[in-house]
Structure 1
């Protein structure tokens, strides 16, 4: 008998198995039901970094501040699994930062964006998987039929060894 099973049986005999595991191991917690699935959203947290308006110093987040007041509560109600933080940032530009469960991070610099563009960026952050699309590498090498105008000289080339 494996050691872990033996320890578990000793705990069951003392009545401590529920305290150790938190649940009864003999009761099935989840059952497979046809047509019902659980979807775990990939977006874990959304950080809204804005520059507050200061007298004499300006601020580039007036539209973002208005969007935070008007649209962010509805967004939080639509996505209860996403942790949304709003944070003032006194240096730099306003940003939307989406952090995903696979340790990826997507960032939008939202300097002077209007509400529709901000909502579109948040929609892209919430609906994407957090992985970056692979870059398409369709670059073909340059082929030339003529000799180079300025040929390259190397001191190790045996044909032009004593060239000054």
Structure 2
């Protein structure tokens, strides 16, 4: 153990940060969503209970007390599905505890945060699903992977489009014909006349 301490103390500060691999400590997982979070357009907020622990006198709670005095009632009216508790604690730093539908809890210290920062943290908890912070293994993940791979703008397009220089006049004329709406209506009218006469 003493060799390990001697080795760390001899390293400069920058090396100490890179000495420890955070991959070993931070849990990792694939990106995921709550697939049954409301059917259709009905959204179910995952945050169910918000506990604001604050001291009435302590200096570090000034921003939290300011938010409670000015924004708490407005927040409660806008988000009636979230139960808000204000818990006074004497001579302690303010905290924010969010409890979620799946049973997870998020704890955020609010020491010396001003009113805007407290508001930012509360809305951050409101838009999360309650999972702890994870290191993402990939930016995308699917439970049923496809053989054709990830979609790109060039998927199902001819391969010669990759080697062309853009903007390409041939492609523009082919994909976006320069015909006005009036000309299209006139052509339809002429076709209808031909169909009636034959």
**Alpha-carbon deviation of 1:74?**
0.9
Shift in Å at residue 75 of structure 1? 0.7
Secondary structure in 1 aligned to 2:73?
helix
Hey, what does 1:121 align to over in structure 2?
121
Mind listing any 5+ residue stretches in structure 1 that lack a counterpart?
1-34, 138-164
Query: Does the alignment pair 1:111 with 2:115?
Result: no
CA 136–127 in structure 1, closer or farther in 2 if over 3 Å, else same: closer
- The equivalent residue for 2:165 is none
| 1:62 aligned partner | 62
Q: Among 51, 55, 72, which residue is 1:51 paired with? A: 55
**Aligned counterparts of 2:66 and 2:91: Cα–Cα separation in 1:** 20
Deviates more, 1:59-68 or 1:77-86: 59-68
User: With structure 2 as the length reference, what TM-score do the two structures score?
Assistant: 0.46
Q: Deviations over 1:34-74 (max 9, x none)?
A: x9532221001000000111xxxx44212211110101111
Alignment of 1:4-83 (within 5 A): 36-53=40-57, 58-83=58-83
Instruction: Please tell me whether the aligned partners of residues 63 and 118 of structure 2 are also in contact (alpha carbons under 8 angstroms).
Output: no
> Per the alignment, in what secondary structure is the counterpart of residue 118 of structure 1?
helix
User: Is 2:85 aligned against 1:85?
Assistant: yes
Superposition TM-score, scaled by structure 1 size: 0.55
Backbone CA RMSD of aligned residues: 1.9
Question: 2:62 and 2:131 mapped to 1: Cα distance?
Answer: 31
Q: Which runs of 5+ in 2 are unaligned?
A: 1-38, 138-198
Encode CA deviations 1:58-111: one digit per residue, 9 max, x unaligned. 442122111101011111111100000011012531001100011111111001
Task: Give the Cα separation in 1 of the matches to 2:62 and 2:91.
Answer: 15
133 and 51 in structure 1: CA distance in 2 versus 1, 3 angstrom threshold: same
SS of aligned partner of 1:128: coil
